[in-house]
Amino acid sequence: MGDLYRYTQAQISIGQWTEVERVFRLLDEAYTASRPHIEIENAIRVSFLEYFEFQGHETQLRQLLGPSLTVLYDDQMRYMKDLARRAAEQRAAADAEGPRR
């Protein structure tokens, strides 16, 4: 999945939109065919979408993602924001308690 991610990022950087769409279609088909197996969904979420870089082409790439991958991406971003929020709250609570002895 890491190789596919790097390949896709390279294709985005040179504007090969047909190839990017082909990768997204492959992932969408793998995701759709694998349901309800969580392993494929998890691989797509964590190894491909979690740190996906739109490289300034978010509108165009979101159209190419298609509905299934868009839902997965948006859900993953909500999850990551929630993790960051909880971590910040835990740090703030720890700071408010002061140093431990």
For 31-84, write each residue's pLDDT tens digit.
988 877 788 889 999 999 999 999 999 999 999 998 899 999 999 999 999 999
* CA 32/CA 100 separation, integer angstroms: 50
* CA 84/CA 98 separation, integer angstroms: 21
The DSSP call for residue 39 is: H
Percentage of residues of the chain with pLDDT beyond 90: 72
Q: What is the chain's Cα-based Rg?
A: 17
- Asked whether 7 and 23 are in contact (CB, 8 A), the reply is yes
Confidence (pLDDT) at 101: 62
Residue 98 pLDDT > 80, yes or no? no
Handedness of CA 87, 78, 76, 19 (dihedral sign): negative
CB atoms under 10 Å from CB of 28, counted, come to: 18
What's the pTM value of the predicted model, to 2 decimals? 0.80
- Asked whether 31 and 41 are in contact (CB, 8 A), the reply is yes
- Asked whether 94 and 63 are in contact (CB, 8 A), the reply is no
